[in-house]
Structure 1
């Protein structure tokens, strides 16, 4: 009976946490309601306050699983079981957060430790397993909000801390028992951060130099998984779009580009080994008479292996510089534990050859300009972006293929992440997608061009080059390491405090034996 009563008391808290997780999921694209973050965080903290660690694990799990179920329903294109598995896996990180947050909330400086613990949780989700899944970071919701401009100074982890901290301040204002002084300080601090961020101005000027680039979105035949197996059609769509681009250049309708960008998977047939694919690319290159950055899947380096690459194809010298994707998608581009899983999950055979990660950043000097090439999902990984910027990239390129997830909200989420990267790095980002969304994002995160999905789109842009560093790119990963370290320190202090409190509350053991003095026996 006692357990049933305890469960009955816990269920309303789990319900609140589930609601908070759903609200947080709606903060992101395609719903784009970023200020729900500062509603969701205090609701979760209210549900965690004053309960045991075991109960905190259940509350955190309810929050996290619901959060990811709302955030990434697009994975159901692969299979409903895949979407459920990802939501449960990522949600368990927030179950661990809930487990420890119940104790951290008891500390004197809990308002500092909690947002640090949140950053530590995001760091964990972005790191493990299989390289992590950094899709659910609070910062990604703020591409359209003034608060997002802080990313240029504190980076993506720092912005997540700020968002979580504002949520903590809201909770401090509303929490029963909070001293009046604490409520006033929390309210003033929260308002100062929000309105202060609106005063930040981000430059669009660059360093006085510019480059002209053309993004070619050739489109694909079909949606979802329908386009698979139609590689030649996709390549020829991009060939024809490039030929039409040159017609517009010859007619004086658009400026001649210095570089043409084809998307990821613009050819899934290795152009080094297939004469027909190579001929299509060379026809396009010779037509525009400038280099084309081709997105190609190449065979090797080993047997039954492949790489997702960006290849600079020059009209004179042919294929030259090459960047191989460093963060291929597990179960999408390669299968962990392949030999063990394939006999039981036959659907994984659709993945084909194992994609092998590349080595080194995609910094590509092309005719006097340094480009930083990033391929699809890996733009969400901090080290990939940091490496190309510190390698001297003056403008960033994202080659992507979202055809599998077209119309599901995933392309909008990726586009928002790309906008946050532009703010963080202070660089223009050029996006080429097979089927959308392609576009141009300015260094302040604003959008110059955004294509529709599943349409052909050709866009020529004259964009500034930037050699300087934002504060965020200068300090690199230090905010994440420091905030994660502080979160772990708060956790250690909370566990020590719990141990001390339990020791103080434990009554001393009863004395053994009698304390009555022995009587002397007369001799």
Structure 2
């Protein structure tokens, strides 16, 4: 057989068979990257297969090792899409692809920035450590940009059932993310090692984070060092799911009043404990009780009948600028409205619209977004024996927002939320997982009150002792521990994330600087190049 001739200036690698092999290799890497990101998605609630997250990072570690930043970006983009596209499916439940896919793509692009940097440090000694630190830095970036950040999808929020959860009490959500990433990246490193010495280091990267998580469980406490309180979470339900759930605003309010009155009947009949405090959901009164006397009267009726203070989620119009606030109003028996908390972290493209005039060029639907204004005061309410931190819905995803609420002296956390817009999607379970992480992080009981579910009582160790179904009226009543003791994570604040982020960035800077210094001059000749494979630079 006569070999196919090679044209002058053409290498064997450029012949069609070689190109086909390269194409197959690239397609294989793309498929594997998507599957790796999908594994991380599957680790998130409502599923309990938390161990798939380190598997997904192991896949990422294998793909990124020795790659250039360009290939790391491309492979990371595919991995990020495999993770974020299914995770954020709920954002398009009632508005379609226009919200879902652009948001997922943006999140994946930000992940790709991190994976490009992870590829850069993948040749350093102890690569799994530096790559995991870079991942923490990337999560920190996604928590602040763009438009105030979107930390949904932090790896920690997929771990409420996992062995890593106790680490939240030491270093918060960032430490969990670091530990999960280190385990997976260490496993990838272990697969590549042939020398026993290298295997020992890689094995340590796999085992130590898991061991640390198990060991940290000794630091998680549930004892009521400030007594106990009996709390009720009211889920009144909504007339219908979707964006127009509040078209019958009075029906939503009446549902919550009715369910509270039913609870009062149960208390009088001995079927339920008398609550010390009651939490209603976000938007349980979309009618401003300060402007509508009838709405205020209905809320006061519920308060007087149940005989306990009620935190009521309401839309309140500011008398000065005439713009709405997402506000929780404290109603007390015999006193009426006595205090307020205004949501500080607003949801972009929902409660508010950044660059409204610019985005209106592309679609007039931007005017469906609200004109809500943020609050500034993190202090919650004193309700009976409890000092309650209030973090409304979207706020629970933000480390700094919850941190400031707890720092105001809270011994319990309440998460009033409205998830009716997202129907029967996984969104409410993803959000409940965040509440479970916060419970361990701060060592506090967390009470989740949702308009349509899932409402829950979460103990300081992250366990859920009571929960409701979805789109059904219900009431949860439980006696819970009040804890004032500060966890190590509370005392350290943002420092663990800052330190890990700084170390990750220093590793990137060191790797880039070292590579430039070691780059051969034309006179010296060029040695073996780094592998550059993947969507952004296939080899």
In the other structure, the counterpart of 2:456 is 439
Q: Secondary structure at the match of 2:237?
A: coil
Q: Secondary structure at the match of 2:199?
A: helix
Shift of 1:455: 0.6
Match among 498, 516, 522 for residue 515 of structure 2: 498
In the other structure, the counterpart of 1:261 is 279
In the other structure, the counterpart of 1:113 is 130
Match among 89, 99, 105 for residue 88 of structure 1: 105
Match among 180, 184, 199 for residue 167 of structure 1: 184
Q: Distance in 2 between matches of 1:336 and 1:3?
A: 51
In the other structure, the counterpart of 2:501 is 484
In the other structure, the counterpart of 1:225 is 243
The count of residues paired between Structure 1 and Structure 2 equals 506
Could you say if the C-alpha distance between residues 337 and 178 of structure 1 is closer, same or farther in structure 2, counting changes exceeding 3 Å?
A: farther
Q: Distance in 2 between matches of 1:178 and 1:472?
A: 38
Displaced runs of 4+ in structure 1, greater than 6 A?
none
Match among 432, 448, 452 for residue 469 of structure 2: 452
Match among 199, 206, 225 for residue 224 of structure 2: 206
Shift of 1:195: 4.2
In the other structure, the counterpart of 2:33 is 17
Q: Secondary structure at the match of 1:440?
A: strand
Q: Secondary structure at the match of 1:136?
A: coil
- Give 1:56-455 correspondences, 5 Å limit: 56-77=72-93, 78-175=95-192, 177-199=193-215, 200-201=217-218, 202-207=220-225, 209-300=227-318, 303=321, 305-342=323-360, 344-351=362-369, 353-455=370-472
1:55-84: per-residue Cα shift (whole Å, max 9, x none)?
222111111122100211111113212110
Shift of 1:505: 5.0
Q: Is the 8 A contact 1:264 1:434 kept in 2?
A: yes
Shift of 1:186: 2.5
Q: Distance in 2 between matches of 1:215 and 1:366?
A: 14
Q: Distance in 1 between matches of 2:500 and 2:214?
A: 24
Quick check: 194-203 or 440-449, which moved more?
A: 194-203
Shift of 1:300: 2.7
Shift of 1:508: 5.8
Q: Distance in 2 between matches of 1:302 and 1:106?
A: 59
Q: Is the 8 A contact 1:41 1:168 kept in 2?
A: yes
Could you say if the C-alpha distance between residues 178 and 484 of structure 1 is closer, same or farther in structure 2, counting changes exceeding 3 Å?
A: farther
Q: Is the 8 A contact 1:14 1:47 kept in 2?
A: no
Q: Is the 8 A contact 2:448 2:455 kept in 1?
A: yes
Shift of 1:152: 0.9
1:99-132: per-residue Cα shift (whole Å, max 9, x none)?
2222211112322210100000000111101111
Cα-Cα RMSD: 1.9
Q: Distance in 2 between matches of 1:3 and 1:397?
A: 65
Shift of 1:422: 0.5
Q: Is the 8 A contact 2:276 2:383 kept in 1?
A: no
Q: Distance in 2 between matches of 1:53 and 1:194?
A: 29
Could you say if the C-alpha distance between residues 3 and 292 of structure 1 is closer, same or farther in structure 2, counting changes exceeding 3 Å?
A: farther
Shift of 1:384: 1.4
Q: Is the 8 A contact 2:129 2:205 kept in 1?
A: no
Shift of 1:259: 1.1
Shift of 1:224: 2.3
Q: Distance in 1 between matches of 2:31 and 2:361?
A: 39
Quick check: 225-234 or 370-379, which moved more?
A: 225-234
TM-score, normalisation: structure 1: 0.93
Shift of 1:368: 4.5
Q: Distance in 1 between matches of 2:86 and 2:198?
A: 34
Q: Distance in 1 between matches of 2:345 and 2:524?
A: 56
Quick check: 291-300 or 338-347, which moved more?
A: 338-347
Shift of 1:477: 0.4
Q: Distance in 2 between matches of 1:380 and 1:140?
A: 9
Could you say if the C-alpha distance between residues 506 and 473 of structure 1 is closer, same or farther in structure 2, counting changes exceeding 3 Å?
A: farther
Shift of 1:302: 5.6
Q: Distance in 1 between matches of 2:521 and 2:98?
A: 47
TM-score, normalisation: structure 2: 0.90
Shift of 1:9: 4.4
Shift of 1:301: 5.9
Q: Secondary structure at the match of 1:134?
A: coil
Q: Distance in 1 between matches of 2:132 and 2:303?
A: 51
1:455-501: per-residue Cα shift (whole Å, max 9, x none)?
11112111111111011111010000000001110110111122123
Shift of 1:39: 1.1
Give the gaps of 5 or more residues in structure 1. 510-523
Could you say if the C-alpha distance between residues 3 and 428 of structure 1 is closer, same or farther in structure 2, counting changes exceeding 3 Å?
A: farther
In the other structure, the counterpart of 1:514 is none
1:180-218: per-residue Cα shift (whole Å, max 9, x none)?
212123224523432453352332212050111111100
Q: Secondary structure at the match of 2:152?
A: helix
Q: Distance in 2 between matches of 1:132 and 1:471?
A: 26
